[in-house]
Structure 1
Amino acid sequence: MKKRVAVCCSPLLVALWAAAVVCWAPLLEASMEAEELHLPGGVYGPESIAFDCRGEGPYAGVSDGRILKWKGPALGWTLFAVTSPNREGKECNGEPETEPACGRPLGLKFDHSSSSSSSSSCELYIADAYYGLLAVGPHGGLARQLASSAHGVPLRFTNALDIDSQNAAVYFTDSSTLFQRRVWVSSIMKGDKTGRLLKYDLRTKNVTVLLNGLAFPNGVALSTNSSFLIMAETGTLRILKFWLKGPKTHTAEIFAELERFPDNIKRTNNGDFWIAMNTARGKLETQTWTGESRGVTLQHGEVKIPWLRGDPVAVKLDERGAVKGMLDGGDGQALESVSEVEESRGRLWIGSAVKPYIGLIING
């Protein structure tokens, strides 16, 4: 199935950030076909997308706890890995109450550092909401657990990650120490600020807490030279910049302020960042939300954003925070819940926490 969407530069978005003085045009064709790569067997929620060291995939973690690999139209989706050792005998049907036993893989990233010599050591790192930080080899199977706690506090809602291969580190987020994924709405509604940004040292196997007191930390992505990372703090509708090198090392500052919930962040080959702005329009229709936060009024399932033109579901920023482009969902159902945008080989691959497919937009 194909849907019409727009990818464009928006003057209104440019005005949101003082650093945004130039809008890159053309980014991609203004009107494109969005395809839906449907998942098998009634599963849903391909929140994060990854490609291995040979460019194969995409791989995606889905609602029943499996990580699937796309092998083309002829073979379709195949099982690649699982994160839980407790699946046997359990009804892993993707329902929220089954997640603690079956696992729920969220953030995915292959370590491409050895891809120039051999793909045999290309490992997939996984942030599982219930089983912490894990890794699995290029042939898949049961992932091994790398970290389940930090400074004596269990990882309760492991969410997203990125890999610094040069410095042998994995940076990842724990969205809450109080609320698990299956009750994530409670974390947002109660203003929970127990989330953490963490670092896993691949050499020493130690976990360090870099930032705590965060309101639902979510997607994380490193800069090209690993001098800083940016992280989505969903509960405050902003993107934070955390310095890893230089005179500001281990300090944080605001990188961008948004008017929709930021989710996963993926860096492009040229160093820009795609930030998914998960409107969750379909999800909000089932909730009764009241209150106001940073100009966004949530009332009776509606999100009212007076300054917005169109329906931005993702924004592309460069390393200075300048706006490079926007993905417009067109107020339709196809892109009503965008958790991630992965740009690869002239394509945009679109993840979602609730949809039964991966979206695909081909440039031209």
Structure 2
Amino acid sequence: MRKKIMAALGLLLLAAIAYLALWPVPVKPVAWIAPAAPGYVGVHAVNDRLAHLNMIDLGREEGPEHIVIGPDGKLYTTVASGNILRMNTDGSAQEVFVNTGGRVLGFDFDAAGNLVAADAVKGLLSVSPARQVTVLADKVNGQPIRYADGVVVARNAGGKMYFSDASTRFAPADWGGTFEASVLDILEQAATGRVLEYDPATKATRIVARGLAFANGVALSADEKSVFVAETGKYRIWKIDLQARDLDLGAGTSPQAVVLLDNLPGYPDNLMRGLDGKIWAGLVKPRNPTIDGMADKPFLRSMTLRLPRALWPVPKAYGHVIAFNEDGKIVADLQDATGAYPETTAITETRERLYVQSLHAKGLGWLKR
């Protein structure tokens, strides 16, 4: 009997090994070298400036992932349900402004007052003040835009729109949502993200730059000659010349593209222009030594996806937003180590308040400026 039990256990062990080594997974991990995490020192020294936020109750809604003050003076925010909410800046008079039927992540307003949305399912959209939804771009060079993420509208140059396509490999519509698709893309590190330009005058879309490991938030320089882009999967923020055409960032820096901030202590998400020349960035999760340790071990990353989701090395909750200037100097750092307001994606700054964006918070947090 003992021999039979041992044989059965041996077969189970072999089956488990075969599963962990051979079961098909959707990613084809690429080896890369993660820089040693800087830790919370220097300008990123641990603080509690993001703790004890004032809260705006959003009812059943959660995750004010992106916040913009519209031309009508109202506060607009996307939430996890797919709605875009509109309210007064104190949180009163809340209403659903629109639901595109997809999942809007970043958005901005054009000169005519249209809400220009990066919809992770449908592409680049325009929503008129009368709430009519129009698709501006869902393809580039005949290929689909799979994961529109952040967008910013130029105030000059004919109102051109610059937006990120986070991944050409993993579309949220195909992989269970934006979070699931982002995990797959960052785990794979194939660096297929790109920055696109849409010209409303010609209705043409072109590739500005490609080769980003999950292209995320975008913001324009003050002179609107460059775009800042968060590369979430490699903990850095680029500055790219808008005259670039199909520039391959996988080949490294060039006269048209430089890494402005490198080796951040967390995953950068949205970018938002603030006041006095600031650009706000949210570090949606802190670095994880297990994940960094697997950077040059593609096989281990494949094995990770074969484990139950509860065993994935997901980084802990940690509230963290920073502000930098166009020279790459950090000018503000706000943290909450408890992660009570989780997955902070950026700050929307007004003369009176700092509104804190979040992927999963149960309300909308804010601080007096």
Q: Do Structure 1 and Structure 2 share a fold, with TM-score over 0.5? A: yes
Aligned in 2, Cα 1:274/1:290: closer, same or farther, shift over 3 Å? closer
Aligned in 2, Cα 1:303/1:33: closer, same or farther, shift over 3 Å? closer
Does 2:350 match 1:316? no
The residue aligned with 2:233 is 235
Output aligned runs, 1:1-364, within 5 Å. Answer: 12-13=42-43, 33-41=52-60, 43-57=61-75, 59-71=76-88, 75-84=92-101, 103-111=102-110, 113=111, 121-139=112-130, 141-167=131-157, 168-181=159-172, 182=177, 183-184=180-181, 185-244=183-242, 251-257=256-262, 258-279=264-285, 291-292=293-294, 301=313, 303=315, 313-334=320-341, 336-363=342-369
| TM-fit CA distance, 1:215 | 0.7
Q: State the one-letter code of the partner of 1:175.
A: A
Aligned in 2, Cα 1:330/1:61: closer, same or farther, shift over 3 Å? same
What is the alpha-carbon distance in structure 1 between the residues aligned to residue 44 and residue 49 of structure 2? Answer: 17
Aligned in 2, Cα 1:208/1:76: closer, same or farther, shift over 3 Å? same
- The alignment-based identity, stated in percent, is 30
User: What is the TM-score of this pair, normalised by structure 2?
Assistant: 0.73
What is the alpha-carbon distance in structure 2 between the residues aligned to residue 125 and residue 316 of structure 1? Answer: 24
Runs of 4+ in structure 1 deviating by more than 4 angstroms, as ranges, are 29-33, 72-75
Instruction: Please list the CA deviations of residues 36-85 of structure 1 after superposition, one character each: whole Å capped at 9, or x if unmatched.
Output: 223233x322211111113221x11122222111236785420111213x
What secondary structure sits across from 2:186 in the alignment?
helix
What is the alpha-carbon distance in structure 2 between the residues aligned to residue 44 and residue 32 of structure 1? Answer: 19
What secondary structure sits across from 1:279 in the alignment?
strand
| TM-fit CA distance, 1:125 | 0.7
Unmatched runs of 5 consecutive residues or more in structure 1: 1-9, 16-28, 85-102, 114-120, 305-310
| TM-fit CA distance, 1:269 | 3.0
- What is the number of equivalent residue pairs in this alignment? 296
Q: State the one-letter code of the partner of 1:12.
A: G
What is the alpha-carbon distance in structure 2 between the residues aligned to residue 280 and residue 31 of structure 1? Answer: 15
What secondary structure sits across from 2:285 in the alignment?
coil
Unmatched runs of 5 consecutive residues or more in structure 2: 1-39, 245-252, 297-303, 305-310
Instruction: Please list the CA deviations of residues 130-187 of structure 1 after superposition, one character each: whole Å capped at 9, or x if unmatched.
Output: 0100111223x24211000111110111000111121120000001111123222111
What secondary structure sits across from 2:349 in the alignment?
strand
What secondary structure sits across from 1:339 in the alignment?
strand
- Is this contact kept in 2: 1:198–1:210, CA < 8 A? yes
What is the alpha-carbon distance in structure 2 between the residues aligned to residue 253 and residue 244 of structure 1? Answer: 12
What is the alpha-carbon distance in structure 2 between the residues aligned to residue 359 and residue 262 of structure 1? Answer: 19
What secondary structure sits across from 1:187 in the alignment?
helix
User: What is the TM-score of this pair, normalised by structure 1?
Assistant: 0.73
Aligned in 2, Cα 1:73/1:241: closer, same or farther, shift over 3 Å? closer
- Is this contact kept in 2: 1:44–1:357, CA < 8 A? yes
The residue aligned with 1:308 is none
What is the alpha-carbon distance in structure 2 between the residues aligned to residue 133 and residue 78 of structure 1? Answer: 23
Q: State the one-letter code of the partner of 1:155.
A: I
- Is this contact kept in 2: 1:191–1:215, CA < 8 A? yes
Aligned in 2, Cα 1:31/1:48: closer, same or farther, shift over 3 Å? closer
Aligned in 2, Cα 1:32/1:339: closer, same or farther, shift over 3 Å? closer
